[in-house]
Amino acid sequence: MKEIKHFINGEYVESASGKLFDNVNPANGQVIAKIHEAGEAEVDAAVKAARAALKGPWGRMTVAERTEILHRVAAGISARFDEFLEAECLDTGKPKSLASHIDIPRGAANFSVFADLVKNVPTEAFEMATPDGTGALNYGVRRPKGVIGVISPWNLPLLLMTWKVGPALACGNTVVVKPSEETPTTTALLGEVMNAAGVPAGVYNVVHGFGGNSAGAFLTAHPDVDAYTFTGETGTGETIMRAAAKGVRQVSLELGGKNAGIVFADCDLDKAIEGTLRSAFANCGQVCLGTERVYVERSIFDEFVARLKAGAEALVIGPPDDASSNFGPLVSLKHREKVLSYYQQAVDDGATVVTGGGVPEMPAHLAGGAWVQPTIWTGLADNSVVVTEEIFGPCCHIRPFDREEEAIELANSLPYGLASAIWTENASRAHRVAGQIEAGIVWVNSWFLRDLRTAFGGSKQSGIGREGGVHSLEFYTELKNICVKL
């Protein structure tokens, strides 16, 4: 049985406790590897290695030297594309057609994009008068923040981990990564690429385990970690924020959402259907930016529901290596229990089940997988938990609206504010409505269209801080002002 070990100070190491847990293929329920669980000793060793690396060769490198290495990391991921793809799909169950176009290429790009960006970001300089008439010069310099604790999620394991590690390393920091216990493989595999690219030992460290009383808790409690970045559910973000308050460590949190899509009658309906299908069902609905609430202008409501139903029922459910499939399983049987509980709650609350609502029939060799049907509801009250709580599954509720103001009010009615999508061909309406939506990112006539130079993050209970472009550099560096008396 394959074992997935920690990566500490440039080497793969076992847990001193000997504790192992299962890595399960969600497509068939079979155990594919054993994962070493970190205790306090492994986490402490990783943090100490990261701290030492700051004072070693990594800390003495120029920006040009550091970014050259990061470009080699990106090239190393691309050179082992098939290996990363296989590992990612075994961990998540997602179709290779999806992971090969998004997860792996973007995972590599996160190193090269931020390597280029960090070389071209200015700070500031000011001349000031002084009473003696000689003046003074103030100028800003960026310095690494230190050791960064990276806690990454299971839905886009490589992409969202490198989205944090790429800019952190570009800015000269070192990292200790705690990947999700569900999807550890590509994070561990990246250690080999780091070594081959010439990343000094201790710069990139990985510890495996769970949250409470395991690697996650030990990492967030460690006093020698300078900042934390996390993507995941709001409750876990609150826990990390409380832990980081001791020692006044900074946090960047991209948290849960219950994202709204607004479809106006003047939209291009073909675009709106295609975009909403992706936003509701891509990656089996396991996308933080996905659309679980859809508000449709009443005059096109029936047609929209019928067409979205047809699109959902045309999805091809199958395992990652089936080239014809475009809809995989959920990440685990445990997560399926959660999603199915909402499916049942929708029925209990009086929903009309437009399509789906259960578990599909699968061949015997896949019957143990975490399969679930893409599901659409109508008819729920606005206060139903199915409408107000994040499900993180392949489902959406569609509700009609009559006025623009009503749609805006509905979209903003929840304590989340991560993302939204607006569908209209009226340019004035697009700008007007987008400006009033309480969300960190608003798409107009598109979804998941990402320029890595732009700010990314949530408002309200969907997060704190922004990543992407210069905003990542602001989090991963300390801006120091130097004042020189002339």
* Catalytic (active-site) positions: 254
Q: Which of 280, 415, 420 is nearest to 355 (CA)?
A: 280
CB 252 within 8 A of CB 475: yes
User: What burial class does residue 63 get, using C-beta atoms within 10 Å of its C-beta: 0-12 exposed, 13-18 middle, 19+ buried?
Assistant: middle
For 355, phi then psi, to 5°, come to -160, 155
Element (H, E) at 399: strand 395-401
Cβ–Cβ under 8 Å, residues 398 and 277: no
- Name which of 323, 326, 306 is nearest 315 in CA terms: 326
Q: Measuring CA to CA, which residue among 269, 287, 271 is closest to residue 279?
A: 287
What is the DSSP track for 209-254? --STTSHHHHHHH-TT--EEEEES-HHHHHHHHHHHHTTT-EEEEE
CA nearest neighbour of 285 among 331, 323, 350: 331
236 burial (CB, 10 Å; 0-12 / 13-18 / 19+) is: buried
| Cross-strand bridge partners of residue 136 | 128, 485
Q: Which residues pair with 417 in a beta bridge?
A: 459
DSSP state of 7: E
How would you classify the pairing of strands 463-464 and 419-423?
A: unpaired
Question: What are the percentages of helix, strand and coil residues in the chain, rounded to 5?
Answer: 40, 25, 35
CA–CA separation, 72 and 39 (whole Å): 32
Judge whether 188 and 88 are in contact, CB under 8 Å: no
